[in-house]
Amino acid sequence: MPNWKEIDLQAKQWMKEAGEIIKSSLSRTLKIKTKSNPNDLVTEMDQAIEQFFIKNIKETYPGHRIIGEEGFGDKVTQLDGIVWLIDPIDGTVNFVHMQRNFAISIGIYEDGIGRIGLIYDVIRDELYHTIRGNGVFMNDLPLEQLDTVQVPEAIIGLNTTWVTKNTRINPAILGALVKDLRGTRSYGSAALEMASVAAGRLDGYITLRLAPWDFAAGKIMVEELGGYVTDLTGKSINLLGQNSVLVAKPGLYEEILKNYLNNGNW
C-alpha cells in the first residue's frame, strides 16, 4: 500500500518551496500571455511551478502520473494507479491583478479515489490539507465537520457571470437562489472557494465550468468533512473533463438541488 503519510509530507514540503518561488517572483515583472480568451491568463510562473512539481514527482515517484493545467504532465485517459492533479496557480487573474487570493492546488487520487488534498494560500501562508479518513487541517488547526444550514442563512461563492446571459445556464435559475440567500461572494479561485467551504467561511460554491485540477483537492476536503460535491444535476463529478460544480454543506445541498435546480432537470 502506498505510504500516504510520507507522500503527504513530501508534497507539502514541495508546496512550501513552490510558494517561496512564487513570492520571490512578485517583485519582478512577469511575462503574461492570454490563452483561450482575454480573461484566460497564463504567466511564466504558472508554467515554472507546474514544471517544478513534475520534475520532483517524476524523480521521487516514477510510477505516479500527473495531470497539470499547463499541459506539462502526462496524457491521462484513465484514472488507474496514482494520479496527481495539479493547478500550479489557481486564480491566475488574481495573481496578476492583486498579487494575492491565489493558491496552489494538488489532489492525489488512487484508482479514481481521492487520497490527499492540498490547497496552499501562498500569501496568507495557509495550507489546507487532508489525508482521506484523517480529517482536514488548516496549518495545524483541525477543521470541524460541516453543520447543516438552510438557504436564508447561507453565503455561497458564485461568480456574477452565471446570473447574466451566458451559454451554460438560464440566469433566472441562479438569480432566484441569489435572491433567497443571505449573500454571495466571488473569490476568483475555485480552490480557495472550496477551502473556504471546508473551513466553514462559505456554506457553498456554485460554478458552471471547472476543470479537474481546479476542484481535485477541494472535493476531497469538503467530502471528508461531510459536505457534498457534485455537478449541478446531482451527478458525480468527472475527474477527466470539464464540469459544472455544486459544493454545499448538508441540508443546503439538498435544498438547492430540489428547490432551485429542479432535481437536476433545468
Known binding positions for Mg(2+): 69, 87, 89-90, 214
Binding site for Ca ion (CB under 5 A): 69, 87, 89
Q: How far is the CB of 2 from Ca ion (least distance, A)?
A: 26
CB-CB contact of 154 with 252 (8 Å)? yes
Mark the segment that binds ligand 2AM (CB under 6 A) among 1-9, 20-28, 204-212, 254-262: 204-212
Each residue of 38-60: b (16+ CB within 10 Å) or e? eeebbbebbbbbbebbbebbeee
CB-CB contact of 256 with 246 (8 Å)? yes
CB-CB contact of 211 with 242 (8 Å)? yes
44 forms part of the interface with ligand 2AM (CB under 6 A): no
Q: Which residues are annotated as a binding site?
A: 69, 87, 89-90, 214
Mark the segment that binds ligand 2AM (CB under 6 A) among 10-18, 127-135, 208-216, 248-256: 208-216
Q: Considering CB under 6 A, how many residues would be counted as binding ligand 2AM?
A: 14
Q: How far is the CB of 105 from ligand 2AM (least distance, A)?
A: 8
189 forms part of the interface with ligand 2AM (CB under 6 A): yes
48 forms part of the interface with ligand 2AM (CB under 6 A): no
87 forms part of the interface with ligand 2AM (CB under 6 A): yes
d(CA 112, CA 78): 9
Residues that bind ligand 2AM (CB under 6 A): 40, 69, 87, 90-92, 159, 188-190, 209-211, 214
